[in-house]
Structures are given as C-alpha cells and as structure tokens.
Structure 1
Amino acid sequence: MPTDRHLSRLFAGIPTIHAKGPPDQEIRQIAIDSRRVVPGGLFFALPGQRTDGTGFIDEAMRRGAVAVVSPRPLAFVPKGVTHLQVSDPREALAAVARRFYARPDEALEVFGVTGTNGKTTVASLLRHLLRAAGHQCGLLGTIHYDLGARTVPSFRTTPEAHDTFGMLAQMRDAGCTAAALEISSHGLDQSRVRGMQIQGAAFLNLTRDHLDYHGSMEAYFEVKARLFTGQNGPLPKVAAINLDDPYGLRLLERIPQEVRLVTFGLNSSAELWADQLELGLEGSAFVVHAAGEQFKARTPLIGGYNVSNTLAALALLHGRGVPLGPLVAALKDFPGIPGRMERITHAHGFGAVVDYAHTDDALSNALGMLRSITPGRLLVVFGCGGKRDRSKRPTMTRAVQRGADLAWATADNPRGEPLARIFEDMKEGVDDPSTIRWVEDRRHAISLALDEARPGDCVLVAGKGHETFQEFADTVVPFDDRQVLRELLSIRSIKMPM
C-alpha cells in the first residue's frame, strides 16, 4: 500500500528536542539493529538493559542510514544525514512505524491478549474461531508468526514496534481481515504496540513472573492495565476480563464506560460462564452460558484453566457480535498448540505430557489438573531459567513439591548462569528432599523420570514446551522435550517389548 515515506511526514506531530540535517529524506527502511541497516535506512538508537543503541550509530551511518533517532545529542552529524533527538525513542519508533506501513491496524480487526499464562492458547483459539467464522486471521505470538501468505518462526512474543507493524502490513497485503496478538508486559512497557487500534483486548490472569524487570506485582499489574485504560493508545472497543482472577476484579474498576465490557469465568456472575465441566486426558467438555442461552462445548484442550482460556476467546468474539453457537461448535476441531499440554502418545500405559509451564502458578495449575485425571503418581521434570527472575525459583520448586509425587530438577536455558547457583535458589523451596532429584543434564533427567514411570502414572516435562533449543552462555544447542520424550520412549519399547 503506497504511503509517503519522507522523514518530515513520518515525524509530523512527534515532539523532537533537536533536529539537524536535511528534513525531507526519503526513508526506505526502519531498523534498530545497526547490522541490518540498508542504504536509505532510518536507525533508532534504543536504550537497552544490556546495550545502548547510541553506541552503534556510527556503524548504522556507515551502512547507509540517512537518518538517526536517539535520546541524546550527537557530537557530530555527517553531511547528508539527519539526526533527530527525542525524549522517548521507543514511543517515536511505534508512531513512525505505524505511518511507514500505512496504519495496517486500521485495516484489520486486531485482538490483543495479555496475562501471565494462557496468551498463546487464547490467541491461537481466536485465529481458529475467526477462520471458522469465515475470516482470514493472522497471528503474532510465542510459537510463530502467521502472516497470511506465510508462517515464520517467532523470535519474540511481542516483536519490536517496527516488526509488529511491518508484519501486520504483511497480513493486510495477504488479504487478512483480522489478527490475534499475544501482548506481553515487556511489549506494553517498551511501546511495541503503542498507538495500535485494538478492537478487542483480553485480560487472562496475573501471577508472579518478570519481577526482575518490573520490580513488583503492583508495577507489573499497572503495565498490563495500560492496554485497557487508554494509556497505550486508542481504547479497545471490547475488553474481556477474567472474573476468576483477583487482578481481573481490580481491572474491572479501571475499564472506561465507553468500552464494551465482557466478563468471563467459572461462576454465574460473569456475563459468559461455564459449568458442568468434564475433564480428562482426551480433552474437556463443558456448558457455556451467555445472554440466557447455553451451548454444549467440547475441546481437545485439557484442564480447567483451558476452559478459562476458551471462555476468554469466546468472550472477545461475543463482545464483537460474532454468534456464539457456530463458535462453540468449532471448538471440537481445534488442533491444539505445540508444547501446551501436548500429549506424547506411546504404548507403555502411563501419560507423557509436555507443557510450557514456567511459573509457580502455571505449574500449580498444570499439576492440579493432571492430578485430577491421573490414577497413579505424578512425576515431573522441570527447571528454572538462568539470568531471569531469581525470586520465582523457590516458589516454582515449592509448587512442584506440593503437586508432584517425584520430581527431577534440571537445566532449563541456563544462559551462562551456573546451574549450581540456580539449584541453590531452587532448594530454598524444598520441603521434602526425598522426593526431588538434582540432575544437570535435561535429557538424563527425562530418562530417569521415564524409568520410574509405571502404568497409571503421568510424566510431565515442564518449562520449555514448544522450544527446540537449549540456551547456554554463548551458544544455543538443539533440544526439543517432545522429540527427546519420543526417542526415549522408543528406546524403552525396544528394551521392554509389549
């Protein structure tokens, strides 16, 4: 879609502290990584936790950047290059990217999903249900980016603003009419979706996570609330709020009157609610109630929290006027999500499940759900990520101790932090040392859990979910929990013919 990409038009109305150089450069590209700059590029020097983009301005100009944006003045600006000093480069990046890509959010019905747990499931359900209703829907999330004409692996739950608006433009140009976005707290705090017109926003839950970044649960909540209160940009047309979550109850009081509010939950005080839950390893059945009607639902997703996730997707679309009957009918055909309560089939008589649970709340929910449908013991392999929030390591371990019969603590993306230190933090949450083993090698830990499993038991491998790698100090190695489980179960079949 053609648009005026001259610098003066892209920055019209955006406050600048100082500007120097030609005001009307034609911009061919937006970049935040100096290594990706091409001739005619506009480089945003963003501040970061580990590196500062201002240190790479010279390289960006050597590669052909014709304009540079930074929060600080530059001592020297070469002839033919424009420098713009702004107080908030990230906010400016979002505004400029939206204009550069001709406001793609205005051409799409954009749905944003936020919450500590469940974003991937709800966003994927939204895409599935919208497609069932006849809409071509794209997706930006943790596992992959579905851009309409192609699907590419994800590199970040909520990409940087220029990538986000660029991919929405690809969806628009591929004929999509809707988009489902996972919106993380980092994405909100760093203005990655700033100014975006979001038609429907869902709040799922808020539990302990990312406190190394936000500092407190209160700050974490305030960032999430921005999506619903107008602090992120235009108000959503619909807000779907989980009535079963205490932070959801708090958020209700903050929703402006002009926003269509749809509450959901497992109690009848919500506008859209469910009861008569039947949960098992094969899926879930329940009855959905809304507007005086009720609908029998069945989904291959397992667990009570996935009933809540399903209600969130239904609530958003219900709020936008999509009839519930056909949506509920389409739930049974949902193909599931890689690494989200994904069952690994085999013939040994016990359950084997891979899940992305990597917070204490997610682990508690996963273990509680599996406990309710497992006749035998619950065996868990899990770990805590390196160079991330250390405060959640004891609480994750305590959740596993309380929910599992036996556990194997192991590596989960140590990222250069010594495993001994990670294990030391985790051991603060140990109540019964006799039910937990400490195994540095993740594959070996999974193998030990499988060796222990007997018919009727269930083995949960938690933390990495869909991921196909393990991060170490200066390298990334291939590692897929699902593939490892299948390989080890195949070896078990050879050793123990059925």
Structure 2
Amino acid sequence: MVSTQKRRSIEGELDRDRMEKTKKRKQEGRKLSALLKKSGAKLKRGSADPRVKRLVIDSRRVTPGSLFFALPGLRKDGNAFVDEALNRGAIGVVSNSPRKFGLSKAVFAQSDDPRLTLAKVARRFFRKPDKDLDLVGITGTNGKTTVAHLAKNFLSVDGAKTGCLGTVGYDLVERVLPSFRTTPEAHELCELLSQMRDFGCERALMEVSSHGVDQLRVAELRFKVGVFLNLTRDHLDYHGDMESYFAVKRKFINGEIGPPPKRLAINVDDEYGRRLASESREESVLTFGLSDDAALKATDVELAPNHSLFTLEYEGKRYLTRSPLIGKYNISNTLAALSTAILLGLDIEKCIASLETFKGIPGRMERVDQGQAFEVVVDYAHTGNALENALRMLKEITPGELKVVFGCGGDRDPGKRSEMTRAATSLADFSWATTDNPRSEAQEQIFDDMREGIVEGGEIDFVLDRRRAIELSLKSAQPGDCVLIAGKGHEPFQEFGDTVVPFDDRKVARELLDSIKLGERI
C-alpha cells in the first residue's frame, strides 16, 4: 500500500509534468486551421496555418502570435480596435464585419457570431479541459457563491481536488486568483479550467451568471451537473423583463447554447425552478427544497442565532443535519450543494459530517466581532429579495432592534431600488441608505429612486458617505441589537465614475468598532 506521503510525491511529480507539457504547448501554439474547424468562422484572407499562441479580446493585451476576436459590446465594438491589435502583433482577426487590412499580412476570418466562435476555438485551444473534469455549473439570482463553496466542501470529502470559480475568487486548488467577473470570458474560463486540470483537479465548480450564458461564455462546455437555485429581480437593465431573464437562464439548463448538463438539481421552492423541472426529462432531475414533493427535502427545521438544524430526507432515509450557516435560505443553499454531491456519487453522511468544519463564505452573513455587545453582520444582499430574506432571518434571531445599512448600484436596474428600500423600511427598525458603487450615475438620482419604496412608518436616513452611514448605525446600536451592512459583502472597493477606491465594509466596521471601544468620535 502506498503511503500518503509517497502518493502526494507522485501526484506532485505528475502535476509538474503536466504543467511542463502545457508550457511547451503554449510556446509552440496551435495551428489556426485546426482551431477554426467547425467554429463558424470562414477564412477570408491569408494563410490558414500560422500558429496561434494566445486568444485575446482586449487589444491592449495583444502580444505577437495572438488571435484577436473583435467582439461586439454594449458600450464599445471590438472592430474599432483591430488596427491597434494588428500593430501589437496579432497574427489574425476574427470578426463579423469585413474590413481592409492594407499591407498587413494578418489572417482574417469572418464569423456571424464571433462570441460563439470564441467559445468553440477556446475549448479547442486549451484541449477541451471540461472533458477531464466533473464540471458543475450553478445558476440563479441569489446564493450561487454560498452553494459553490458548500459544494466544494462536499466534493472534497473523498480527497479529490476540486476547483471553484465565482464571485469571490478563482480557486484553482494550487493557487487562488482574484475574481474579475462571476463567469469569466470563454477563453479565460477555458484557460482556468485547463490550469485546474494541470494541477490535478478531478472536479470543478463554477457560478454561471446570466451574462455568462447570454454572452456565450459557457457555450459548448460539457457540464456533468447543472444547478438552478432561484430567480428574482436583478439585471433587468440588461435583460429587460423577468421572462427574458428567465429565458436566458433556461438556455443553460436545456442546452440551447451547447450540450445540456447530464444531470440537473433544481429548487422546486422557486416558481421558475418548478417550470424548469416540468420542462426537463424527469430521470435527469433531482429536485430539492422544503416543499413536500421535493426528492431531497428538509423537514423539522430549527433556526438558531449561530446554526441551523434540520432533518434531511432522501430516498426513504432521514439524516439529522446541523449547519453553521444561519437562516432558512441557507438551508436551501445547503440542499442545493448536497444535491450536487449526490449526483456525483458522494457519500451523504460524509458530506453532512463535513459541515462541522465548514468555515463559511467571505462577505456572506459574515460576522464582525470586536467584542461589542451587539451583532454586526456583513452580507452581499444587493437585490430586494436577498435583502428581504436577510432581514427576515436576522429579525427572527435578534432580541433587540434590527438596523440596516444598504445602497443601490448606479448604472443598473433602477426598478429594484424601491424594492430594496421597501424591504429595509418594512423589516428593519431603522435604515441608513447610502452609496453602493454609484459608477457614472448621480447619487441623488439613485436616492430619489430609492425613496419611492419607503413604507408608511418606516424610519430611514439618506447618508451620502458610506463610512459615515456605517458609523451612525454602529453608534446607535445597543446590547442585543443587530446591524446588517448589506450590498457589498466581500468587495474591497467602491466605484465612482471611472475611479475605483478601496472600501471594505468588514474592515471599516472593525476600525469603527475599535474606535468606539477607545471612546473616540468615529
């Protein structure tokens, strides 16, 4: 029998060998003709056999040997940057628009859908990394990050290396990279999955955003499991209405943008989840929820200030489950993660036992404890539904008053601003509305939209400076109270116009609480 130390040594050698081979392949590049085959792009100019060393969609990142994809965008069109890409050494361009190249010897390939071509080319360029991984995609408005982290915990109980890509970061097991978007662009995603493969990962989890589906970032990937959590108002500045938003989510589940996931885990407590379950092949779906007809369900639910207790029922068996995550919606998140583990053949009892050591998720109901006599919680809740769920849950376990600091993002769906204010002023004893990434929009306009949601009798102040709003909430708190600082969660910045400034709710709260202890004006 091989010892653990010996096994790790062997695995390390294999990982290093894989990475060396990958490095050599990158240096050599791939033939363009092989990459464009069945990609939807037709060669219009130049030789089909230059070697491509890199796939790029940002002209500023082009290096010699790059293939530049001129993608259409909401604000800018990639075709406007083709000349810059060529000047930087691109060996070819993929675009939906014919153009003149002058004296350049670059290759030009035309595609009716450059994004779909990018997805197909990227998968081929990185040698189909999804085929070597048990790939899980998690989609829904709320809870993706929590479910991804819980599922990573469960999928690792048998010792398998499991990577995780999402809002908080890109965990490749051997290293963790900061996240720049929930679902990376297709070429970035395939590169990250290929690195997981090279690091010896057997499984990979990823959050699948509606933008990621609509912009074909996950097109053509082979998912072993697809998970649907819920659908509530968000991103309507992009999608227009809820049915259009749902139609995009459905594309991931039913395979409109590539092969459908082999198995599905669907939340039937959600009305949109029920619709998806009814549309899917019954034998491929594992339903979950608190509903009586869910195949995997939670019963006998008990909620406490520092944990949740429930009975898990599945295939005639009952399992007592204690989770360190608080709130009913986190029971739903736990069921989603357990569904993923079941569909991949993991032992349920081992998964449940692993909850004892689960450390939680950054910026998701994260407590800030500097020894104060009241609770301070930082959470990412940035939709009306998420804020309502968070406040209802905290209200159940708070003996004193419940206070909330929240804001609404600029250049985003203005319709959800009144919904968030309605949730805050109807459930919290006092609210402070403040900034939350106003971007290019005037904060007073955002405040005006938010004021429309104030309920009769609701107490709320509008404070332009977020730090000051947090200060006021903490100064007002008495023993037994709870202060929820909502909207930003793990984010360490604020966006004002084109400027990004450091701002971390957790860090700011700690600093202010320490100042309170010292008796300073904070």
Spell out, residue by residue over 1:125-184, the C-alpha distance to the aligned partner (whole angstroms, 9 max, x if none).
Answer: 111111122210001100100112210110000000000000000000000000010000
Tell me the CA shift for residue 17 of structure 1: 5.3
Partner of 2:33: 8
Pairwise mapping of residues 286-435 of structure 1 onto structure 2 (< 5 A)? 286-432=310-456, 435=459
1:459–1:88: structure 2 CA closer, same or farther, 3 Å change rule?
A: same
- Residues 1:54 and 2:73 aligned together: no
Partner of 2:210: 185
- Residues 1:150 and 2:182 aligned together: no
Farther off after superposition, 284-293 or 487-496: 487-496
Tell me the CA shift for residue 34 of structure 1: 0.4
| Distance (whole Å) between structure 1 residues aligned to residue 141 and residue 490 of structure 2 | 17
Tell me the CA shift for residue 18 of structure 1: 5.6
Partner of 2:465: 441
Contact 1:21 1:79 in 2 (8 A): no
Aligned mate of 1:238, from 256, 263, 269: 263
Letter in 1 for 2:139: T
Instruction: Give secondary structure in 2 for the equivalent of 1:84.
Output: strand
Tell me the CA shift for residue 432 of structure 1: 3.5
Seq. identity, %? 53
Spell out, residue by residue over 1:336-359, the C-alpha distance to the aligned partner (whole angstroms, 9 max, x if none).
Answer: 001000011133321100000000
Unaligned runs of at least 5 residues, structure 1: none
Aligned mate of 2:144, from 106, 112, 119: 119
Partner of 2:286: 262
| Distance (whole Å) between structure 1 residues aligned to residue 316 and residue 336 of structure 2 | 18
Spell out, residue by residue over 1:21-57, the C-alpha distance to the aligned partner (whole angstroms, 9 max, x if none).
Answer: 1111110000000010110000000111111100100
Aligned mate of 1:208, from 233, 248, 251: 233
Partner of 1:129: 154
Instruction: Give secondary structure in 1 for the equivalent of 2:518.
Output: helix
1:437–1:40: structure 2 CA closer, same or farther, 3 Å change rule?
A: same
| Distance (whole Å) between structure 2 residues aligned to residue 383 and residue 77 of structure 1 | 51
Aligned mate of 2:52, from 23, 27, 34: 27
Aligned mate of 1:75, from 95, 100, 105: 100
| Distance (whole Å) between structure 2 residues aligned to residue 85 and residue 283 of structure 1 | 56
Partner of 1:486: 510
Partner of 1:226: 251
1:434–1:250: structure 2 CA closer, same or farther, 3 Å change rule?
A: closer
Contact 1:197 1:234 in 2 (8 A): yes
| Distance (whole Å) between structure 1 residues aligned to residue 356 and residue 314 of structure 2 | 19
**Runs of 4+ deviating beyond 4 Å:** 1-4
Letter in 1 for 2:222: Q
Spell out, residue by residue over 1:200-253, the C-alpha distance to the aligned partner (whole angstroms, 9 max, x if none).
Answer: 011000000000000110010011011111112112121000010000011112
| Distance (whole Å) between structure 1 residues aligned to residue 154 and residue 252 of structure 2 | 23
Tell me the CA shift for residue 416 of structure 1: 2.2
Contact 2:426 2:458 in 1 (8 A): no
| Distance (whole Å) between structure 1 residues aligned to residue 404 and residue 276 of structure 2 | 34
Instruction: Give secondary structure in 2 for the equivalent of 1:386.
Output: coil
Tell me the CA shift for residue 401 of structure 1: 1.1
Farther off after superposition, 470-479 or 343-352: 343-352
Partner of 2:199: 174
| Distance (whole Å) between structure 1 residues aligned to residue 313 and residue 492 of structure 2 | 39
Letter in 1 for 2:151: L
Spell out, residue by residue over 1:105-130, the C-alpha distance to the aligned partner (whole angstroms, 9 max, x if none).
Answer: 00000010000000000111111111
| Distance (whole Å) between structure 2 residues aligned to residue 437 and residue 184 of structure 1 | 33
Contact 2:425 2:458 in 1 (8 A): no
Contact 1:148 1:170 in 2 (8 A): no
Tell me the CA shift for residue 71 of structure 1: 1.0
- Residues 1:472 and 2:496 aligned together: yes
Partner of 2:62: 37
Letter in 2 for 1:491: S
TM-score normalised to structure 2 length: 0.93
Contact 2:129 2:197 in 1 (8 A): yes
Farther off after superposition, 321-330 or 243-252: 321-330
Number of matched residues?
Answer: 495
Spell out, residue by residue over 1:433-457, the C-alpha distance to the aligned partner (whole angstroms, 9 max, x if none).
Answer: 7600000000000010011111111
Contact 1:18 1:86 in 2 (8 A): no
Letter in 2 for 1:487: E
Contact 2:95 2:111 in 1 (8 A): yes
TM-score normalised to structure 1 length: 0.97
Instruction: Give secondary structure in 1 for the equivalent of 2:461.
Output: strand
Partner of 2:11: none
Contact 1:46 1:90 in 2 (8 A): yes
Spell out, residue by residue over 1:383-416, the C-alpha distance to the aligned partner (whole angstroms, 9 max, x if none).
Answer: 0001111111111111111111100000000112
Instruction: Give secondary structure in 1 for the equivalent of 2:51.
Output: coil
